[in-house]
Structure 1
Amino acid sequence: MSWPGGTLLEGRPAPPRIPPPARSTARSLGELALVILLVVLAAFATHTTDLLIVIVALIVMIMLHELGHFATAKWSHMKVTEYFLGFGPRLWSVRRGETEYGIKAIPAGGYVKIVGMSNLEEVDPADEPRTYRQQPFHNRLIVALAGSTMHGVMAVLLIWTYFTFAGVPSSSVVQVQALAPLAHGADPARQAGLHAGDVITSADGRRVTGVNMLAGVIGAHAGQAVKLGVRRNGMVRHLTVTPATETANGKAQGRIGVELAEGNSSIGPVRAVGRSFVALGDTVTASFSALGQIFSPHGLSSYWHDLTNAQAAKASEHSTVRIQSIYGAVRTGVQGAEAGWGGLVAVLVSINVFVGIVNLVPMLPLDGGHVAVAVYERIRSRRGRAYHADVRKLAPVAYAFLLFLGFIVVSALYLDITHPLANPFH
């Protein structure tokens, strides 16, 4: 995205644009494409495509977060000089206009460099009108909030896509989750031709309305043939299964050797919009609840106990609210992908919501810190005279927060390696 120099600098002619040599740019793009191709081929060769999918999804998530800042900064006429994935030494970059785009060596996030983010930054006087600090309050607020907003948009789009194409969970839809041979070796479901993923639509001539209803029909027909209507890959077929007899509480019951679960019912793209926002709201509520538990005095005490006590760390493997590092998040994402694309979507939605919320914590260098500074400056400004906060006074608090954040990141990585969380999809 580019803007005419005359518009941005109030009539000042735009500086001459010097494009990079076409040959070097083409060569850089070719080298990047070759690296990407080699990574993809390696993933297929080593059967780690699920890992590759998760990593690519996280990279896209990071870059879309930064795209929110980038696009709104450009829209606000701010000068953006860098748009990078990663930190540290440059691995690859290309310049377009006044902005350099590229990849750096440490894949710990991404950033957009907007000129004049604070009063500490020295800026060319010619660029001062286009600095972040000189923009109206509403523009600074929009830019600071854009990253977390993008996470919300991504979460809604992921949920909507899943609901549109896979449907929404419904208690009236019964799906075969897995085949499970009975204790004495009988396997009626497999013998009848049932497969994991089949949706059972009817039993003994009656429409299936839930797991309990189907279990009741099967249980009442021990040793008797039962006709099942089964939907598989969009087609309905009819199978005949003869439940084996098992005794429970002194009473003979029919069993066919399956694990049943609620399936999905189709709702279409329009109805999926409303359901997507409801699901997002539920996820946001659950995330706030989890964060409240984690960072409460009791939660922090328990976390320290997990770090210093091997037995407690072992028990935390089954926790549903333990902090995860990026390594742990990738691992859970791979487990979700192995369980099906619904599992992967659930993990990606949770990550988006979590990152979006945490990023709004009102502490520098997080986006929420920039929001807090902008609001404070707005309150302190009087009669058209803009007030600029002295960021140097906030430095001790920011450094303390970064130390705390670093401790959480390193300790979470330690727990994820030594005591990884149990697979939530089993």
Structure 2
Amino acid sequence: MSAALFVLGVLVVAAGLAISIALHELGHLVPAKLFGVRVTQYMIGFGPTVLSRRRGETEYGVKAFPLGGYIRMIGMFPPHKGEPEGTIREDSTGLVQQMSQISADAKAYEASQYGPEDAHRTFVALSVPKKLVVMLGGPTMNLLISVLLMTVMACGIGMPAVTPTVQAVSECVLPADAPADADCEGEQEAPALAAGIRPGDTLESIDGHEIEAWSDVTEAVRTSGDRTVPVIVERDGETLHLEATPIVDARPVLDEEGAAVRDAEGELVTEQVGFLGVSGTPDLVPQSPAVVPELAWTTFSRTGELILTLPVRLYEVGQAAFGSTERDPDGPLGVVGVSRLAGEVAAADQPGFEVREKVGTMVSMLASLNMALFVFNLVPLLPLDGGHVAGALAEGARRLLARLRGRSDPGPVDMSRLLPLTNAVALVFLLMTVLLLYADIVEPITLFP
């Protein structure tokens, strides 16, 4: 494995992830500024500031740990109503008093960041629809990036598929459940071999059916019975007209994806159909843009399932990291794990896994990462975007209910009251990050074990 290529793969995915984070925050920044909110910071990463420049009223910069980003808008919490800042009611005790004090301190800090002249430029002053646009702008940007990368992958680079170019020709007709090392002694010669079809031939027509995909080959052969049918192939730039006589034999039933169907006992399900004895060549085949919505939905569904089962998946990661169980290759990964896989892809020296396949895999990884950022940020918990979205929806519902009851406007929802819960969620995320970091080091997931 080339160390230089490994590092290159890590850098490519790291740069792609950094750009995705930057565009995510841009998805928040642009609508916030369009709606007149005063944005004081646009930062990529966390920790100490490495580089920054002020443009107008906003500081743009990069921080030491590029594992996320944020924009800082003034007035995220509503101002105090009728009480001096920091006041706690005398009937508040214990946990309630502590939570109220945290809320009061947060409001006091927010209020110190702007004057009365900017009160109309706060986030909390926005209407509910505008709040939703600002908070959904980031995740939506990740969704668009993911769909764009999927389009590049599916329509430009191509998706894995079997092409009508013959990879191998069977020497004889073996039973459908014959072992891979079975020999041909005493068995009937395969129809394709008898017809003169050779590896490298491209099948263009079988029994008058034009061949565009491997599924066309399967359908034409299986429905041909045992008749002698014309077969047209292209070999070294020359068109050859051949004749083949498929045999009717017990062959596996195929599902919609072309995989063999098995029964409850694991036995192959077979049917009597035509058999020719050729196999196609796996390759990356560009697809129609029409496949992108289905591809995006499949990726979204799988990501959503992963996030919904995240506590269980993290428990399994912990068992693998600290116990003797094997790690699920489809489980969650941390930054180190993703970087390792990217390096393996770039440095891989595997037959049939060349530059085009490597680029496609990299693009697919970045598409999946952006879909993960989209779905994860919709979780309705602070400090995620979904928590602010939930707060805006609650505010809209409360105001609508007040209007229907003929009551006065209750004002914005005070999200500062949820700061203790926000800190708890942030701590859980930190522990999750540490666990995945440790697991990625001691029990890594690899593409080529």
User: Smaller-chain TM-score range?
Assistant: 0.5 to 0.7
SS at match of 1:132: coil
Residue 125 of structure 1 corresponds to which residue in structure 2? Answer: 116
Aligned to 2:157: 166
1:354-404 Cα distance to aligned partner (Å, 9 max, x none): 111111111111101111111122223334625233334312221221121
Q: Is the 8 A contact 2:161 2:282 kept in 1?
A: no
Matched, 1:345 2:345: no
The one of 278, 283, 289 aligned to 2:299: 283
Q: Distance in 2 between matches of 1:175 and 1:103?
A: 53
2:8 corresponds to which letter in structure 1? T
Q: Within 1, Cα distance between the matches of 2:165 and 2:362?
A: 22
Given that residues 65 and 147 in structure 1 are in contact (C-alpha distance below 8 angstroms), is that contact kept between their aligned partners in structure 2? yes
The aligned residue for residue 390 of structure 1 is 414
- The whole-number CA distance in structure 2 between the counterparts of 1:175 and 1:145 is 49
- Report the structure, 1 or 2, having the larger helix content: 1
Unpaired runs of at least 5, structure 1: 1-42, 184-197, 218-226, 231-235, 240-254
8 Å Cα contact 2:37/2:121 also seen in 1: yes
1:170–1:265: 8 Å Cα contact kept in structure 2?
no
Change in CA separation of 1:173 and 1:167 when aligned onto 2, cut-off 3 Å? farther
2:424 aligns to what SS in structure 1?
Answer: helix
Between 158-167 and 401-410, report the one with greater CA deviation. Answer: 158-167
After superposition, where does 1:224-303 map in structure 2 within 5 Å? 229=234, 237=237, 260-267=281-288, 272=289, 274-296=290-312, 299-303=313-317
Query: What is the letter of the counterpart of residue 353 of structure 1?
Result: M
Of 395, 403, 415, 2:427 maps to: 403
CA positional deviation for 1:208: 8.2
1:107 is matched with 66
Q: Residue deviations 1:215-253, cap 9 Å, x none?
A: xx9xxxxxxxxx9857xxxxx7579xxxxxxxxxxxxxx
The structure number with the bigger radius of gyration is 2
Task: Find the counterpart in structure 1 of residue 442 from structure 2.
Answer: 418
Structure number with the bigger relative contact order (C-alpha 8 A, sep ≥ 6) is 2
Percent of matched pairs sharing the same residue: 29
Q: Secondary structure of the residue that 1:82 maps to in structure 2?
A: strand
3-state secondary structure, aligned to 2:142: helix
Mapped partners of 1:368, 1:203: distance in 2: 52
Aligned to 1:371: 389
* Distance apart, 1:117 and its partner CA: 1.5
Match 1:63 to one of 16, 19, 22 = 22
Counterpart secondary structure, 2:446 = coil
In structure 1, what is the equivalent of residue 136 of structure 2? 145
In structure 2, C-alpha distance between the alignment counterparts of 1:411 and 1:292, rounded to whole Å = 18
Counterpart selection for 1:306 from 297, 315, 320: 320
Q: Which runs of 5+ in 2 are unaligned?
A: 79-106, 169-179, 182-198, 222-231, 240-276, 349-356
Residues in 2 aligned to 1:79 and 1:176: alpha-carbon distance in whole angstroms: 63
Report the counterpart of residue 98 of structure 2 in structure 1: none
Calculate the TM-score normalised by the size of structure 2: 0.63
| CA distance 1:303–1:169, shift in 2 (3 Å) | closer
Distance 1:203 1:405, change over 3 A: same
Query: How many corresponding residue pairs?
Result: 325
Tell me the SS of whatever aligns to 2:19: helix
1:9 matched residue in structure 2: none
Q: Shift in Å at residue 265 of structure 1? A: 4.0
Following the alignment from structure 2 to structure 1, what is the Cα–Cα distance between the partners of residues 167 and 432?
A: 41
Specify the SS of the correspondent of 2:397. helix
**Structure 2: how far apart are the matches of 1:96 and 1:52?**
29
Please report the RMSD computed on the Cα atoms of aligned residues, expressed in angstroms. 3.8
1:324 maps to which residue? 333
- Cα distance change of structure 1 residues 386 and 332 upon mapping to structure 2, 3 Å threshold: farther
Q: Which amino acid aligns with 2:51?
A: W
Contact 1:175 1:261 in 2 (8 A): no
